[in-house]
Chains A and B, each alone.
Chain A
Amino acid sequence: MKDFIIPGQNDAWGNGIQDETDRGTPAHTGAPVTLTIDGMEITVPAGTSVMRAASELGIQVPKLCATDSLEAFGSCRLCAVEIEGRRGTPASCTTPVHAGMTVHTQTPKLRKLRKGVMELYISDHPLDCLTCAANNDCELQDMAGAVGLRDVRYKAPESAPLANHFEARDTSGAANPEWLPKDDSNPYFTYDASKCIVCNRCVRACEEVQGTFALTIEGRGFDSRVAVGAENFMASDCVSCGACVQACPTATLQEKSVIELGTPDRSVVTTCAYCGVGCSFKAEMQGDQLVRMVPYKHGKANRGHSCVKGRFAYGYASHSDRILNPMIRDSVDQPWKEVSWEEALDFAAKKLVGLQAKYGQKSIGVITSSRCTNEETYLVQKLTRAVFGNNNTDTCARVCHSPTGYGLGQTFGTSAGTQDFDSVEKSDVIIVIGANPTDGHPVFASRLRKRLRQGAKLIVVDPRRIDLLHTPHMGEGHHLPLKPGTNVAVVSALSHVIVTEGLMDEAFIKARCDLDAWEDYKAFISEDRHAPEATEALTGVPAATLRDAARAFATGGNGAIYYGLGVTEHSQGSTTVMAIANLAMMTGNIGREGVGVNPLRGQNNVQGSCDMGSFPHEFPGYRHVHGDEVRQMFEQVWGVSLDAEPGLRIPNMLDAAVDGTFKGLYCQGEDILQSDPDTKHVAAGLAAMDCVIVHDLFLNETANYAHVFLPGSTFLEKDGTFTNAERRINRVRKVMAPKNGYADWEVTQMLANAVLKETGGARWTYTHPAEIMDEIADTTPSFAGVDYALLEAEGSVQWPCNEEHPIGTPLMHVDGFMRGKGRFIVTEYIPTDEKTGPRFPLLLTTGRILSQYNVGAQTRRTENSLWHDQDLLEIHPHDAENRGLKDGDWVRLASRSGETSLRAKVTDRVSPGVVYTTFHHPDTQANVITTEYSDWATNCPEYKVTAVQVAASNGPSDWQQTYSAQAEKSRRIAAAE
């Protein structure tokens, strides 16, 4: 174990914190307006509030109901000001600036008014500041001080108690009917009504920021109180995003961690390690104790918002299941043996070198992690290319967004989304296809919902009726409930309508696209067989519904397309991505704000892992290994000769393992046994290998087949960068020393050096991830301008970031496509080989839910499991009735690949003939069911279409019970000698 390092002291790049002054109301854009406040002149954009203008001058007008993440409300009366020439004392939060206005924020009249207001507030608030969880972090406390409140005159007369909300009993001992007990039903925060000042900030945050509308104010006057429309928070529609807690100016809504630990004393800005939104958070600390994660207001991806995972589900980092010592074993039926790092690395290196000597240079490989940093991923792919001497590197993007890389690369010339997240604020029509943003990308979903409330139209293409369709106060919505596997036919039918009705953007096509390819495509898509009337029987989407949606998209203004794994994880995943690109090009929806093609990446660093050369056919920056010039450049930088042929993709590695030609694997931060399709085949592949090295936080399912376990570090314990779905490179900052002793980049370097010790190569000598980023920048044109100093100065940048774009590129393809002219590609619908029939009459599609993340390794080790403690099978009432199934029954789910058992959830959210489940729990192992069918271009598995049968069951299947026993046996750790 290394010496404890106090984070920050050894880091020249600081904690990332910028000015966080709460200016009371949101910023505006508009013509400049000059006014005078307290004798000082200031110029601000029209529409700015007087409160905000004052704040820009450094004058903080007292406030309680105002905060700059919410629109002004004007209820607390504390922010009153005097304006020359106007009567009364208007609220500065709701009063916009005017040219020539003269404002006074401190006058005897205002002081008296504010003190009176505060006196009233405090008369109905407990005076327990010293023992309150928000002590020293309470705006009510601050304002009492700011207005100079020294006494509260409103006392209860001796004859009768004074009505209040904060005393459980009055002086006679009688119960106070106005008092409510604390609601601590939510695992992460409490609601203490006795401390509520009814400022409405929580209600407005739930509406304006999150868009759930779970909270309201019930009652009037003195009876007003925050209500959740259910027995308690946990039973309500609350999604536990934390926006209300963030907005609360008192301890009414308070994190339980703060109640337990006290207030934090330092903050470090870092990036969430859950989904591809890449939210910026402040890790608020006491020493090396994490107290809470608070969304960072200057975070450019999340703009100060969060979800239940990033905000609260960090407990896994200190969970007792974490493995902190390296372990080895000769065979997987033995118990693990804890050893020193040196022994473990020496054991692993000798095994790997021995396998190459016996089975050839290409007999081993790596899987990089989309949960680890860019720098770590870069090192892992470098390990296989420069140290192992082959290109056998792949990443979990293989099983999620590899078709995005191929499809967008072919059509646009680059393998990434075209927009930033801010872009959605300018969208007029939004297509969401094969994605469930409220669950998978919740913080982006909140921004999307905000735009829908402002009037943008929504078109959802999905077999399920996703929650986005239930956005409160949204306008026009279209649901195209297609049959799983028919994406290409549906998107082509949309294009058919647009082309045959002459709704395309001819000028854009003529100026920006390859016209020969367009003519070919136009002839193809105009054929009657692509008409919605012709595809209706195939896709299940009514022709009229589809025509309406196509017209809305083509004529509704800025059209944006967001898509997820419901597009890519098909045998035609790449073709659907191309069809989406065609749709965007033909409608001219590329190259400006509000439009674009936007893949919603699953994991935090899927984009980055792809950028960093994790795929077996390309170096960092998406450059094929065949290219002599690039390969020779890397040979010169790395000082070795490199393989010029593509390596094995994950499914190919497993096939080769079964064939006996692939014998060793270093798997960093992935759990392929649970996440990859056809579990039995994955298990067979792993079992056939002689050396499986798992580098992870926990003994995951893949580790059941491992010979070496190298403990991993969490995102809190290391420096680096993640790249999110909008190509944004965000800093990850170490807030505590690695509990396992080493950051993951250090472990990979030690493994590389252990192998190099055997083979005689030059040692790696990185001392900080910043040096790795410098090497990435030196070798990768799209990252050429990136270094940690720039990230510190800018907060984050979006690639390409180079001489041409020195502070990054928010929007792609503005003046032309990366490949020159945009290329239309003919997208013929080809049905999957996975067919329903008498034995397997239903179609299974899989996905994830809000509270759990991927294989659940992290979230299952948090209180998030209170929301989802098992995978459930959603089945339509008709299909359930035909099988005699009731809600909650155990059911047997079987496919051609295997079977498992889980409980049924009867719901019409799925269509008849379609069933749905998640894959978060290893007890279920949903991927026992999925097949080996995959995308034609990339081998991305066809998770979304599996023919299945469902029948009543008594409980877990024999396979589940056998697997569970085997997994338990495999996780044994021998007692220390």
Chain B
Amino acid sequence: MTNDKMILMANQIAAFFNTQPGADQSKGVAQHIKDFWEPRMIAQLRAYLAEGGQGLDPLVIEAATQV
């Protein structure tokens, strides 16, 4: 998938968990990605992060370390 689409998907997930109460929103994002993203999608996210991760929600960036 295009990076733009991946960024959109990841940021949508972050947008939901950003609204949730508590202090472990990044954990929710990470778990959601682990539960539903296929390994090559996760690999793409990691590769994009390695290039700087421009456009990704900070919560996604935080969560990616837990995926």
Contacts and interface: CB of A to CB of B under 8 A. Distances in A.
Interface of A: 362, 391-392, 520, 524, 571, 575, 616-617, 624, 626, 645-649, 652, 655-656, 658-659, 661, 825-826, 828, 830, 833, 932, 934, 936-939
A127 B52 CA distance: 89
Contacts, number: 61
Contacts of A936: 9, 12-13, 15-16
Given A655-B5, A656-B1, A937-B32, A830 B38 contact: no
B26 to A, nearest CB: 16
Nearest to B1: A655
Contacts of B40: 362, 656, 661
Contacts of A828: 16, 19
B47 interface: no
Nearest to A365: B38
B20 interface: yes
**Residue from B12, B20, B35, B38 having most chain A Cβ neighbours under 10 A:** B38
B9 to A, nearest CB: 7
A826 B19 contact: yes
Contacts of B41: 648, 652
Contacts of B55: none
Contact of A575 (B16, B37, B38): B16
B63 to A, nearest CB: 14
Nearest to B22: A520
Interface string B6-39: 0011001101100111000000000010111111
Contact of A659 (B1, B8, B16, B36): B1
Contact of B5 (A624, A647, A932): A932
Nearest to A571: B12
Contact of A648 (B16, B20, B38): B38
A833 B12 CA distance: 10
B31 to A, nearest CB: 10
Contacts of B36: 617, 646, 649, 937-938
Interface of B is mostly: helix
B21 A652 contact: no
A571 B11 CA distance: 12
Nearest to A523: B21
Contacts of A571: 12
Given A646-B36, A649-B36, 5 more contacts: A391-B38, A616-B38, A645-B39, A646-B35, A655-B1
A783 B22 CA distance: 37
Q: Return the 4 tightest CB-CB contacts between A and B, nearest first.
A: A655-B1, A828-B19, A936-B12, A520-B21
B27 to A, nearest CB: 15
Contact of B21 (A645, A826, A932, A937): A826
A647 B38 contact: yes
A524 B19 CA distance: 10
19 contacts: A362-B38, A362-B40, A617-B35, A647-B38, A648-B38, A649-B36, A652-B38, A652-B41, A656-B38, A661-B40, A826-B21, A828-B19, A830-B16, A833-B8, A934-B9, A936-B9, A936-B12, A936-B13, A937-B16
Contacts of B34: 626
Contact of A939 (B9, B20, B21): B9
A875 B24 CA distance: 46
Contacts of B1: 652, 655-656, 658-659
Contacts of A649: 36, 38
Nearest to A939: B9
Q: Which of B15, B21, B37 has the most CB of A within 10 A?
A: B21
Contacts of B37: 646
A646 B5 CA distance: 19
B38 A826 contact: no
A694 B37 CA distance: 26
A658 B34 CA distance: 23
A571 B12 CA distance: 8
Nearest to B13: A936
A805 B41 CA distance: 41
A626 B16 contact: no
Contacts of B35: 617, 624, 626, 646
Nearest to A517: B21
Contacts of A392: 38
B22 to A, nearest CB: 8
Given A652-B1, A656-B1, A646 B38 contact: yes
A828 B19 CA distance: 6
A655 B38 CA distance: 12
A492 to B, nearest CB: 12
Contacts of A658: 1
A524 B21 CA distance: 9
A826 B41 CA distance: 28
A826 B15 contact: no
A569 to B, nearest CB: 15
B15 to A, nearest CB: 5
A661 B44 CA distance: 12
Most buried by B among A524, A649, A652: A652
Nearest to B14: A936
B28 to A, nearest CB: 11
A520 B32 CA distance: 21
Nearest to A936: B12
Contacts of A626: 34-35
Contacts of A938: 36
A532 B31 CA distance: 34
A656 B40 CA distance: 9
Nearest to A572: B16
B8 to A, nearest CB: 7
Nearest to A524: B21
A825 to B, nearest CB: 8
B32 A645 contact: no
Contacts of A645: 38-39
A934 B1 CA distance: 14
A309 B20 CA distance: 44
A951 B15 CA distance: 36
B35 to A, nearest CB: 6
Contacts of A830: 15-16, 19
Contacts of B39: 362, 645
